A and B are shown apart, each in its own frame.
Chain A
């Protein structure tokens, strides 16, 4: 009998030891959309001479990669032979109010680089106009000097290059890559 009591008490201890508190809520998860995302890429072009109207193009995918398709993916329409100052804004619009992620990229400028690639025939020359702490360009702001009317694709990429940034685009991983259809009229 003594033995049985002993065995049972050992079992009880073992069972109670196993009952860890469930720290996470199973039945009421957090909405995944509240996680950190870049939902919106916006590029605003301002005429360097202050004459032409501003041009804005954006890509919006509120629920992030996967799920629903992007709600906006604009064409960039610029005036031929003009010079624009471009400025990029990154937002997380799944949050209310929206979070401005551009600030974070700027702070971590030494790890980030925007790259601009144009398909052949698109008459534009793009120069990054901002610098990080190591005097390497970031590309949040840039100057677009346009030539004659043409059509093509402007690929805008944000490269994440922690500790390996040299100003070249080929290293690191891709945080953003968007192919904007671009018309110079």
Chain B
């Protein structure tokens, strides 16, 4: 009898164990950017919705065993986001979400903007070295849909968003609009992405907060928030690469001091050196480079008042491939016809002429005053100084001038900017931002004339609003800008001071709708504009690197874009899909076009290019599909299609990136907690030949398409601090392919770099004070 009862008891307990629906899951909701706990965020499992407590902690109980989708319910706290969890789950689940508070502060529109495949892919963490490639901002952003790059040799890389670059992109460095000589296609952004922490792309006419020029979009380069009330932590990053035999070291330390923790600091530094790059068959002469960057930030965060000071310096020395410095058209033709450049070099870390020295200083004062829980005002003052020196291949004939070793020309750009904005939270569903901004800028050159001296004044005012409920989200904004440019230029040996004034409104309206749990549909309409830039108005001279004479047109009008975007996202554990289409119509698109006849100079005849305006359309499609194959493997397909037409002349638009497809196969282990994880990723990028070009409009027809194979493998270990220790070995151009890219200005002269092995190590550290535990 006893045995029988025992048997029944065991049976029952086994039965009840297998059907046990009494599990609980504990977790916390944290901000993906700041890692801060989010109180009162709504999370759900199946139909059960609860709120996190004031410490951002949630507890689900009465759960059965199995796999569930933990969802952050879209509301003001966070973006709709899913996390797959397994029950039972003994650990503390950390659910990182995109919050709107952060966005309202800096990236208001981004959250609602399409194409936002997921928060992860539209915001990149620069410390996620298992996903990020390259050392420059331009290379690192390529992972975003619609982003490609424009390069000059291998060291100067600029980001391109849906075919737009340079003057048509705004880069915001830690809250300040970066003001360098960004008009030049061989002028890379003067930013060390290591400091950034986060890289975010905002597309469409939505960069309203950041003023004019955001035609292609806004790139936000933002460091993590200062560590108020937190312990000291930081990281050290080391990397080495085989091609160029170079390497870099970067480190950051941040923490708070004084007992209250209201004061915090952050210091960072980066140094990098690279030698001559090698194409598969030869050394690409004079492609060495070196750079350093450092920054310091100090902040105070009280109940009402927040203040932070920031200073950063960036400096780089870049060698310019010698074979690209062309005397005239005859030299250029010789360069085209030879498959190998005339003088290839040997390996060196030294730079010879032609070369560039670029330095950028940025200082910032940021004040925030929280009037009450609903209203806060912020003020940002920024001062920037940009120095650019370009050295020609040819030193001066006059010995005494040559002995000074002066740059062929030097540009100095000083910028003062002030932005004031007030944010009002009318209700849980409706928020507004009112802002004004002003900018004062002076440019001075010395040496060879390329762009004149100028003074620029800009002022703007804007309103942004966001309304959101469980299903719908509306965002809208309006801005008006005024820009005044005074130029100091010699005409017939007489100094003249013409003034150009431009003003125009910008507007944006977006709508997004959640359909069920898996779909989001987004639409955006907007208009943005930019005044013509200084080079488009006044450049007049020989561009050595391009062997052409570029002539500006002082009569150019403003360029206005009307854009529309439509996107769909699907997300579940079967697949992640993001497809978007966009159409941009330009009123007065400014483009550099060939103009006959060639100009006769003492150095021979040169083709002449003039800045002209015409109405154009640029449209395309960006898509990405990610499918998990089994437990450990995922496959991603990403494609960009871009078409541009000059409507006035009814021909293809020059200089659009060609279409490309990227496929990635990633294997990764799924260890949770502090377990060691490893991953292997293989990537194949197919870049097609640009067939949409006008015959005889370029020196040489676009290079043929290519398929680039790269791979990387690494280990990731989560440390107690929550940060990841990472070691990654990567190889780009695995097959050592000789190829040329249409968006590289040196495509006429030399192949791209060959195979490159890279080893990257990221070591996070965190210092916990012992006395605090006592």
* A170 CB contacts on chain B under 8 angstroms: 334, 342
Segment of A26-34, A126-134, A137-145, A146-154 in the binding face: A26-34
- Given A66-B541, A66-B542, A160-B394, the answer on whether A174 and B603 have CB atoms closer than 8 Å is yes
Tally of A-B Cβ pairs under 8 angstroms: 146
* A70 CB contacts on chain B under 8 angstroms: 600-602
A18 close to chain B: CB less than 8 A = yes
Tell me, in angstroms, the Cα distance from A105 to B395 when the chains sit together.
12
4 other A-B residue contacts (CB within 8 Å) besides A27-B497, A177-B602: A26-B443, A61-B600, A66-B540, A177-B328
B592 close to chain A: CB less than 8 A = no
- In the complex, which residue of chain B has the Cβ closest to the Cβ of A105? B397
A104 touches B397 (CB 8 A): yes
* A39 CB contacts on chain B under 8 angstroms: 602
B93 close to chain A: CB less than 8 A = no
B490 touches A176 (CB 8 A): no
A177 touches B541 (CB 8 A): no
Shortest distance in angstroms between B303's beta carbon and chain A's nearest beta carbon? 12
Which A-B residue pairs are the 8 nearest by beta carbons? A174-B327, A177-B604, A24-B444, A32-B449, A104-B397, A65-B601, A173-B327, A18-B383
B100 close to chain A: CB less than 8 A = no
- In the complex, which residue of chain B has the Cβ closest to the Cβ of A108? B397
Shortest distance in angstroms between A26's beta carbon and chain B's nearest beta carbon? 5
- In the complex, which residue of chain B has the Cβ closest to the Cβ of A19? B383
A180 close to chain B: CB less than 8 A = no
B309 close to chain A: CB less than 8 A = yes
Interface centre among A66, A104, A175 (most CB of B within 10 A): A66
A51 close to chain B: CB less than 8 A = no
B307 touches A69 (CB 8 A): no
**What are 15 sample pairs from A and B whose C-beta atoms fall under 8 A apart?**
A10-B307, A24-B446, A29-B488, A30-B446, A35-B449, A38-B397, A39-B602, A59-B602, A65-B599, A70-B600, A104-B398, A170-B342, A173-B327, A174-B330, A177-B602
Tell me, in angstroms, the Cα distance from A104 to B412 when the chains sit together.
30
B600 touches A36 (CB 8 A): no
Tell me, in angstroms, the Cα distance from A51 to B600 when the chains sit together.
35
Shortest distance in angstroms between B233's beta carbon and chain A's nearest beta carbon? 24
Tell me, in angstroms, the Cα distance from A88 to B399 when the chains sit together.
20
A32 touches B453 (CB 8 A): no
B398 touches A36 (CB 8 A): yes
Tell me, in angstroms, the Cα distance from A36 to B445 when the chains sit together.
15
B326 close to chain A: CB less than 8 A = yes
* A164 CB contacts on chain B under 8 angstroms: 343
A69 touches B394 (CB 8 A): no
Tell me, in angstroms, the Cα distance from A146 to B477 when the chains sit together.
78
- In the complex, which residue of chain B has the Cβ closest to the Cβ of A66? B541
A26 touches B452 (CB 8 A): no
* A25 CB contacts on chain B under 8 angstroms: 444, 453
Shortest distance in angstroms between A51's beta carbon and chain B's nearest beta carbon? 32
A84 close to chain B: CB less than 8 A = no
Q: B315-342 interface mask toward A, CB cutoff 8 Å, 1 = contact, 0 = none? A: 0000000000111101100100000001
Tell me, in angstroms, the Cα distance from A23 to B442 when the chains sit together.
12
A173 touches B455 (CB 8 A): no
B412 touches A15 (CB 8 A): no
Interface centre among B325, B330, B393, B444 (most CB of A within 10 A): B444
Interface centre among A41, A173, A175, A177 (most CB of B within 10 A): A173
* B394 CB contacts on chain A under 8 angstroms: 160, 173, 175
A41 touches B328 (CB 8 A): no
Interface set, chain A 80-115, CB cutoff 8 A to B: 99, 101, 104-105, 107-108
- In the complex, which residue of chain B has the Cβ closest to the Cβ of A24? B444
